[in-house]
Amino acid sequence: MRVFHEPEPGMVAHTSASKVLSHSAANDWLHSGTREMWPAATKMTEALKKWPASEEPNETGYSLSNDDGDTIYSVFAKDNERAGQWVRGMAIFSQRPQFNLSFITDYYDWESLGHAQVIDIGSQGALSVALAKKFNNLQLIAQDGQKGRDDDIPEDLRDRVQLRVHDPFAPQSCVAADVYSLRWMFHNWSDKYCIKILQALVPALKPGAKVLVQETLMPEPGTVALWKEKNIRATDLNMAAAFNGQERTVAELRSLVTKADSGFAFQTVIEPEGSAFGILEFTWQGPVNQNTD
């Protein structure tokens, strides 16, 4: 793997690669890759043969690579050490320029919303804090299956940023908010479960409510540099092997959201140069929900 090199016989020296691995996040990322993702990838073909066209998270290469056949979520729920290693490894992405939250805070017109409530779904609060620092007009609630750490919210923002526990498949508990943000969630799930997440939002939506979907946008073949397309398609395969998820094109995401409910009206897609994500904006133009009157 050329992690080290031998500048002269009998001497082993560090390289830029070994220096990276001396950092804990990179080390955890490598361990999770070899412990979780590589075994799943080796079983992907077997899973496709056993469960063709499956959309279930427990019918994957990952499930076959674990003796108990569990989903990755179930494994992590039972094994804090593996879960912690995964979370710490994933943190390396936040350090990469293309994942910088400024692509979300700077390229969407949050100021135009006026005084608005934003629900940050599937988040430990990092995006909410970034938005609160920049826009005094926003009240934010970050929701995740496990509550984020209150200590991660700066004291001067705690009156505008709340952390709550919420299952994204359960009916949305924050009713009549102005914006519902779903960042980097859908690629973990098959269409079936993405639709369930969206349908759980519907009873909470008031007319004109905005739904922002932030995901890596799968390019059409031959439309971007080969190295970039290769990286995205490799991630796509990883999501399939571990979750039965996938990366999607703009057209696929639009179709997915409107399939969940025809009341979601597509408005625009924003693709910041250099960003790992695009932002798709939808507004709710369906029936008025009694909960939001």
Annotated catalytic residues are 187
Backbone angles phi, psi at 257, to 5 degrees: -70, -45
Q: How far apart are CA 95 and CA 274, in angstroms?
A: 14
Strand-pairing partners, residue 179, are 118, 210
Tally DSSP H helices, then E strands, for the chain: 12, 9
Written as one string, the DSSP assignment of 228-246 is HHHHHHHHHHHHHHHHS--
Strands (E), the chain: 5-8, 11-13, 116-121, 138-144, 161-165, 179-183, 210-215, 264-270, 278-284
Residue 253, SS3 per DSSP:
helix
Q: CA-CA distances (angstroms) from residue 55 to 48, 60, 182, 258, 259?
A: 11, 9, 20, 19, 16
Quickly list DSSP for 173-200: SS-S-SEEEEES-GGGS-HHHHHHHHHH
Distance (Å, whole) CA 126 – CA 101: 8
